Amino acid sequence: MRFFFRSRKFKIMLTITCSIVVISLITAIVGSAFSPQNGVLGAATSSITEFFNNVSNEIGLFFEKFQSNDELMQENLVLKQQINDLTSDLMDYEKAKQENEMYEKYYGIKEQNTDYVMEPAMLISRNADDPYGSFNINKGSLQGIALHDPVITDAGLVGYISEVNPSYSKVTTILDTDISCGGLDRRTRDAGIVSGELSLAEKGKTRINNLLRSSGVAAGDYIVTSGGGVFPEGLVIGKVDSIHNESYNTALYGIITPIVDFGELRDVMVITYFTGQGNALGE
């Protein structure tokens, strides 16, 4: 409204209004001397007076309408702000609700591992050119995420943080050849090394190497992390599909189907601290 009063249009209207007021006053004075009954001049004066009165009334109605529209615009602005505030509150509520639901899913893990410090995160993009299925999450160094922090779901191990930025991070999955971690057969306690292989990653699988020929590892067994270094002990890696002989020595290796379906990932949890956390990859 204040910009309108400074505009050229308002100045012109103000000039016209003032002119009408002056002419109306003159007309009124002249009209008092020459009434409509006193001939042609009186009739002309009466018509002019009526004309300017009508114009004056129209201008008054315009200003009333303009003021009414301005008030309506102000009310609309207030309503829009209220809607924006409510939308923001709703989004905050939904975010808090989702995080609470995540914490409920991870309650059992936290209860069994009271030393864990965890940060929930959401997948924001997949690296389509990476055959090992790496992806980016919406948390970074500003939220306490650090290089090599383990990444899990409530089912088991996903991978680790391989790149950190202030507001997002890259996750390398256990399908990758860059990951080499100690694995244990949960049933027999036989140990091996879990590492990726390109031909297996294309099928969504990985492998456990260096199993002793005398080990009792069998198809259907679950492999978990052995602890130390990057990953804490006891995180489920996957299920053994089959056992094979190594071609270059007497050891055995097993093909593993990961417990996590990487194609269905939406939300993950980053373990930012656990007792015994190390800095070196693998064991």
CB neighbours of residue 21 within 10 Å:
12
Query: In the chain, where does DSSP find H-type helix?
Result: 2-5, 8-33, 40-105, 107-112, 198-201
118: phi then psi, degrees, rounded to nearest 5:
-125, 150
From its phi and psi, is residue 228 left (phi > 0), alpha (psi between -120 and 50) or beta?
left
Alpha helix (H) ranges present in 34-114? 40-105, 107-112
Residue 29 CB contacts under 8 Å (≥ 6 apart), including other chains: none
Q: What is the pLDDT of residues 174-204, one digit of tens each?
A: 999 999 999 999 999 999 999 999 999 999 9
Q: Residue 78 has what pLDDT?
A: 81
In this structure, the dihedral spanned by the alpha carbons of residues 208, 211, 213 and 215, taken in order and rounded to 10 degrees, is -100
Q: State the pLDDT at residue 161.
A: 98
- Cα 88 to Cα 83: distance, rounded to the nearest angstrom: 9
- Give the closest residue to 273 by CA, choosing from 128, 161, 156: 161
pTM of structure = 0.66
Is the separation of the CB atoms in 215 and 190 below 8 Å? yes
Strand 191-195 to strand 236-245: parallel, antiparallel, or no bridges (unpaired)? Answer: unpaired
171 vs 212: CA distance, rounded Å: 31
Phi, psi of 273 (to 5 degrees): -160, 140
What are the phi and psi torsion angles at 54 (to 5°)?
-65, -45
Residue among 85, 82, 105, 103 nearest 93 (CA): 85
The per-residue pLDDT for 255 is: 98
| Backbone phi, psi, residue 113, to 5° | -130, 75
Contact 266, 214 (CB under 8 A): no
Low-confidence ranges of the chain (pLDDT < 50): 34-36, 39-41, 282-283
- Scanning the structure block, which residue is given the tokens 């790496």? 134
Q: What is the DSSP letter of 241?
A: E
